[in-house]
Amino acid sequence: MAKKSIDAVDVANQAVLMRVDFNVPLDENQQITDDRRIRMALPSIRSVLDRGGKLILISHLGRPKGEGNDSKYSLAPVAERLGELLDQKVQFASDTVGDDARAKVAALNSGEVVVLENLRFHKGEQAGDAEFAAELASMADVYCNDAFGTCHRKDASMVAVPEAMQGKPKVVGHLVAKEIEYLSDVMASPERPFVAIVGGAKVSDKIKVIHNLLEICDKVLIGGAMAYTFSLARGGKVGKSLVEPDKTELAAELIAQAGDKLELPIDTHCGDDFSPNCNKQVVAAGEIPEGWEGLDIGPETAKRYAAIIRDAKTVVWNGPMGVFEMPPFDEGTKTVARAIADGNSTSIIGGGDSAAAIEQLGFADAVSHVSTGGGASLAMLEGQRFAAVDLLDEA
Ligand code: AMP
C-alpha cells in the first residue's frame, strides 16, 4: 500500500500545503526545549524548497482551549527555529485562513516558505469542519501529509483538507512514508518469528494492542505494571503494586485467547516504597509480599525475554518493562533493549515511553525504526486504518 511521495510530484512554482507535526515542547518563556519534531520534517521541507516549490506549513501545537489565539501555543517560535535550521528566511502568518495568511501565501516566491499559526486556534480544525478545510485547500496546488503523530486523528487538516483537494496531488512526506513502511507494511508480512513486547503502566491502555498482536505475532512478552493485573487474574499475590482490579476479567480473556503465545513474567523485582532508596528483593511472580510493590521484571524473566528476542526476525516493542526512570528498576527495560540491539531482527519501537527509554539507554541507533508518534503508533499496533493516509494518492 505504498503511497505517492512528495518527491514524485513536480512542485516547481506550485503551492504545497504540507501538514507537519510541529507539536514541540516549550518552556514558560516560549523557548523550544526539544526541536526533534522540526528536524524530522526537514527532508520533506527541503524536497519542496530545493525543487522550487512554494511551501505552506500547517500544524497544531499543544491543546489551546477554545477559539482565538493564545500566545502560549503560538507557532511563532517554531517558525523562527525552522529559519535557523534551514538557514533561510521563514515567514510566519498570524492566522490560518485570515488576511495575513492569504497575503503571505500570495506573496510567496519559488523556494520560499511560510508557517501558518496554530491550526487549533480555529475551532474548525478539531471539528473536522469542511468550510475551514475548503479555505485551507484553496490556497494550494498540492497537499502533503508528513504529520505521523496526528495520522490517527480526523482533524480538518488531516482528512477534510485533502478531501477538498480532489483532482490535485495528495501525497505523503518522508516521515509518514517511513512510518507506514515499518508499522504497516512490516506488520502485514513480518519475517518470523515475530515477537511483540508490551509493557507500561496500564493494561487498559493496551488491551486492543495485545489482542491484535496475539492474532499476528508468534510471541507476546508482557512487562511493566500491567503484568500484575495479569498476575491478579491468575490468583497471584501483588502486594501494593499498581494494578487495575476491574480489568482482571479482560486479562483472563487475553490469557485464554493466547494459548502459549503469551509470556508473563516469572519473577519480579520489588521495592517496599516507590523510591530508588527503598529496600529491594526479587520474588517469584505472583508472590509479592504485603507492603511491597513490583517495580520491574526480575532477572530470570529478563534473561528469558532476551533469549526469545534474540531469536526473533521481527520485533515490535511498546512500553517499558518497569519503572525505567528510576534505577535500578531500569534493568529489565535495559536488558530487553540490549537484546533488540544485539539481535538482527527488523525492530520497531513504538512512540512515547518506549521511544524515550530506547533513546535514554543509548540504543536508538541500533534498532530499525523508532516511531515518532505515541498515539498513532499505538493505533497502528491495534490494527486501525487511518483515513488520513487511506485517502492519499497511490504510488
Ligand atoms: P505507558 O505510558 O503505559 O507505556 O507506561 C509507562 C510508564 O509505566 C512509565 O512511566 C513507567 O515508569 C511506568 N511503569 C512501568 N512499570 C511499572 C511498575 N511496575 N510500577 C509502576 N509504574 C510502572
pTM higher than 0.85, yes or no? yes
**Residue 337: inside a domain, yes or no?**
yes
Q: Can you give the pLDDT at residue 340?
A: 93
From the candidates 202, 237, 261, 310, give the one annotated as an active-site residue. Answer: 202
259 shares a domain with 171 = no
375 is catalytic: yes
Same domain, 159 and 299: no
Give the domain extent around 216: 190-381
By the 10 Å C-beta count (0-12 exposed, 13-18 middle, 19+ buried), 202 is classed as: middle
257 assigned to some structural domain:
yes
> Which residues sit opposite 262 in a β-bridge?
220
239 lines ligand 1 (CB under 6 A): no
From 3, 37, 120, 219, the catalytic residue: 37
Asked if residue 239 and residue 369 are part of one domain, the reply reads yes
260 with 198, same domain: the answer is: yes
CB of 298 shorter than 6 A to ligand 1: no
**Does residue 309 lie in a domain region?**
yes
Residue with cell 526473533: 312
Same domain, 204 and 156: no
Three-state SS sequence of the chain: CCECEHHHCCCCCCEEEEEECCCCCECCCCCECCCHHHHHCHHHHHHHHHCCCEEEEECCCCCCCCCCCCHHHCCHHHHHHHHHHHCCCEEEECCCCCHHHHHHHHCCCCCCEEEECCHHHCHHHHHCCHHHHHHHHCCCCEEEEECHHHCCCCCCCCCHHHHCCCCCCEEECHHHHHHHHHHHHHHHCCCCCEEEEECCCCCCCCHHHHHHHHHHCCEEEECCCHHHHHHHHCCCEECCCCCCHHHHHHHHHHHHHHHHHEECCCEEEEECCCCCCCCEEEEECCEECCCCEEEEECHHHHHHHHHHHHCCCEEEEECCCCCCCCCCCCHHHHHHHHHHHHCCCEEEECCCHHHHHHHHCCCHHHCCEECCCHHHHHHHHCCCCCHHHHCCCEC
227 and 291 in a common domain: yes
| 165 shares a domain with 208 | no
Q: What is the pLDDT of residue 1?
A: 61
Task: Say which CATH number the domain at 207 has.
Answer: 3.40.50.1260
Strand order in the sheet with 293-297: 280-284, 267-271, 293-297
pLDDT (0 to 100) of residue 273: 97
**363 and 239 in one domain?**
yes
pLDDT at 66: 64
pLDDT score at 135: 98
C-beta of 295 in contact with ligand 1 (< 6 A): yes
Q: Is the CB–ligand 1 distance for residue 353 below 6 Å?
A: yes
pLDDT attached to residue 334: 93
Distance, in Å, from the CA atom of 324 to the CA atom of 267, rounded to the nearest integer, reads: 17
335: CA distance to ligand 1 center in Å?
16
The question of whether 173 is a catalytic residue gets the answer no
The answer to whether residue 37 is catalytic is: yes
Q: Is the distance from the beta carbon of residue 201 to the nearest atom of ligand 1 less than 6 Å?
A: yes
- 200 with 295, same domain: the answer is yes
- Is the residue at 394 inside a domain? no
| Residue with CA closest to ligand 1 atom 3 | 200
Domain boundary among 145, 177, 209: 177
Q: Is residue 1 part of a domain?
A: no
Residue 153 belongs to a domain: yes
Residue 395 forms part of a structural domain = no
User: How far are the Cα atoms of 204, 226, 348, 374 from residue 201, in angstroms, in the given order?
Assistant: 9, 6, 20, 14
Residues 158 and 204 in one domain: no
Clarify whether residues 285 and 351 are in a common domain: yes
Tell me the residue length of the chain.
Answer: 395
* Per-residue pLDDT in tens (0 to 9) along the chain, 395 residues: 689 999 999 999 999 999 999 999 999 898 999 898 999 999 999 999 999 999 999 999 999 976 677 889 999 999 999 999 999 999 999 999 999 999 999 999 999 999 999 999 999 999 999 999 999 999 999 999 999 999 999 999 999 999 999 899 999 999 999 999 888 888 889 999 999 999 999 888 898 999 999 999 999 999 999 999 999 999 999 999 999 999 999 999 999 989 899 999 999 999 999 999 999 999 999 999 999 999 999 999 999 999 999 999 999 999 999 999 999 999 999 999 999 999 999 999 987 778 888 888 888 889 999 888 888 988 989 989 999 999 999 99
Q: Are residues 170 and 262 in the same domain?
A: no
Domain end: 177, 209, 238, which one? 177
Residue partners of 170: CB distance under 8 A and separation at least 6: 4, 142, 143, 144, 145, 162, 391, 392, 393
At residue 353, the pLDDT reads 79
Instruction: Look at residues 154, 177, 200 and tell me which one is the last residue of a structural domain.
Output: 177
Residue 362 resides in a domain: yes
Question: Into how many domains does the chain fold?
Answer: 2
